[in-house]
């Protein structure tokens, strides 16, 4: 088995382990390449089916292509697709693009808070109805106790400290200093009432691994990652006001891989285009403690 095959097998094992032990399991799908690979791995783990609901947090500042792609794939792969949002912050215009808060606060409002309350079931969830081809309020208000997330250890400092099965307390807080041990392939699959777990099947993957896997499996990835003829492309996807494009003429997966291996991005951090990371010394870390993915 080569490295990609080993990574794939391990991720499948983790997904099946999560599916075995969690009744209220959900998988976050940001539409980006990592969580799309994760979704693909779920289809691998469950032989073409995705028996886990997918949750997207809609900040309403996502690029329109992302929402279109999300709903196309949801229909095509028969996904149990759910989205949540921070209605109040959006109505009161407590966002960075509205000029009322800084970037970090905007992330807190539209992502962290929306995620937290959608997971707990306090805020409405919208569920894709395959008959109607549209979203409708989800009747299920039970809290999700297991949340599968596509973070990778190589993304930035704080993510390299994650566990594969990482507990969060009721407030979604992350206690970095006191995490459960993980031995061989035995993870924390027991949890006290009132706690929940984040599950990270992609922790050991690198950005390059992700692209190589996309190529190997021919995973249909959103085309924002490729140059559309303007000489720029996204390397990491987020909300449009905070996602810078990189100068690149890579039009295919193979060209992206070539660029990562040998070209100008070989030594530049992936999230360098994400403006919110730069607002203070450990911006993303403070966000992650509060439940950001």
Partner 1 sequence: MKTNQSEKKRISVVIVGHVDHGKSTLLGRLLAETGSLPQGKLEQVKALCAKNAKPFEYAFLLDALKDEQEQGITIDAARIFFQTPKRHYAIIDAPGHIEFLKNMVTGAAHAQAALIVIDAKEGIQENTRRHGYLVSMLGLKQVIVVINKMDLIQYDQESFEKTQAEYREFLSRFKLEPLAFIPISAFEGENMIHNSEQMPWYQGNSLLTQFDKLEASSTDELVAAPLRFPLQGVYKFTEEGDERRIFAGTLESGSAQVGDKVIFLPSGKQSQIKSIEEFNRPAATRAQAGQAVGFTLSPQVYVQPGELMVKAKEPQPKVGNRFRANIFWMGRTPLIQGKRYKLKIAAKRVSVKLVEVLSLIDASDTGSIQKKQQLDRHDVAECLLETLKPIAFDLYDEIDSLGRFVLVDDYEIAGGGIIIEDRTGQGDLFSEQIRHREEARVLGWLRQPDREKRQGHKARFILFIGDFSQGKRKMAAATEKLLFEHQANTYFMAYTNLNLGLDSDLAAIASDSDEEVRRLGELARLMTDAGMIFITCLSLQDPYDIELLKQITLPNEIFVVSVGENRWNIPGVSLEVAAHANEGAVAQQIVAALEFKTL
Q: Which of 124, 137, 115 is nearest to 56 (CA)?
A: 115
* Subset of 162-201 contacting partner 1 (CB under 8 A): 163, 176-177, 179-186, 188-193
Among 8, 34, 277, 290, binds partner 1 (CB under 8 A): 8
Distance between CA atoms of 31 and 25, rounded to whole angstroms?
A: 19
Distance between CA atoms of 130 and 163, rounded to whole angstroms?
A: 35
Min separation Cβ 30 and partner 1, Å: 22
Q: List Cα–Cα distances, 280 to 42, 198, 235, 283, in angstroms.
A: 35, 25, 22, 5
Among 48, 64, 99, 229, binds partner 1 (CB under 8 A): 48
Min separation Cβ 63 and partner 1, Å: 26
Distance between CA atoms of 122 and 172, rounded to whole angstroms?
A: 14
Min separation Cβ 165 and partner 1, Å: 10
* Subset of 51-70 contacting partner 1 (CB under 8 A): 51
Fill in the DSSP letter of residue 223.
G
Min separation Cβ 64 and partner 1, Å: 29
* Subset of 77-116 contacting partner 1 (CB under 8 A): 78
Q: Which of 59, 58, 39, 61 is nearest to 50 (CA)?
A: 39
Q: Which is nearer to partner 1, 88 or 266 (CB)?
A: 266
Strand order from edge to edge, sheet including 146-148: 134-137, 126-129, 81-84, 54-57, 25-28, 146-148, 196-199, 165-168
- Which residues sit at the interface with partner 1, rule CB under 8 A? 1-3, 5-6, 8-10, 12-13, 16-17, 19-21, 23, 43-49, 51, 78, 153-154, 156-158, 160-161, 163, 176-177, 179-186, 188-193, 203-204, 206, 217, 267-269, 272, 281-282, 285
């Amino acid at each position: 088995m080569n490295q990609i095959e080993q990574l794939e097998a391990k991720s499948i094992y983790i997904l099946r382990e999560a599916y075995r032990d969690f009744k209220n399991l959900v998988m976050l799908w940001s539409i980006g390449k990592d969580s799309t690979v994760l979704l693909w791995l779920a289809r691998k783990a469950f032989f073409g089916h995705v028996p886990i609901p997918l949750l997207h947090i809609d900040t309403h500042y996502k690029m329109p292509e992302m929402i279109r792609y999300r709903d196309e794939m949801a229909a095509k792969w028969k996904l149990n697709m759910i989205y949540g949002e921070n209605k109040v912050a959006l109505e009161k215009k407590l966002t960075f693009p509205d000029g009322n808060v800084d970037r970090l606060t905007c992330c807190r409002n539209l992502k962290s808070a929306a995620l937290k309350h959608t997971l707990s079931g306090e805020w409405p969830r919208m569920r894709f109805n395959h008959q109607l081809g549209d979203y409708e309020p989800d009747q299920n208000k039970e809290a999700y106790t297991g949340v599968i997330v596509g973070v990778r250890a190589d993304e930035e400092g704080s993510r390299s400290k994650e566990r594969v099965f990482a507990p969060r307390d009721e407030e979604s807080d992350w206690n970095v200093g006191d995490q459960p041990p993980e031995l061989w392939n035995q993870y924390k699959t027991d949890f006290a009432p009132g706690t929940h777990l984040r599950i990270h099947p992609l922790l050991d993957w690198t950005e390059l691994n992700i692209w190589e896997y996309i190529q190997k499996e021919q995973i249909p990835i959103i085309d924002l990652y490729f140059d559309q003829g303007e000489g720029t492309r996204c390397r990491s996807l987020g909300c449009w006001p905070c996602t810078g494009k990189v100068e690149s003429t890579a039009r295919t997966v193979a060209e992206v891989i070539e660029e990562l291996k040998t070209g100008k991005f070989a030594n530049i951090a992936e999230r360098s285009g994400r403006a919110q990371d730069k607002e203070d010394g450990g911006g993303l870390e403070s966000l992650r403690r509060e439940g950001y993915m």
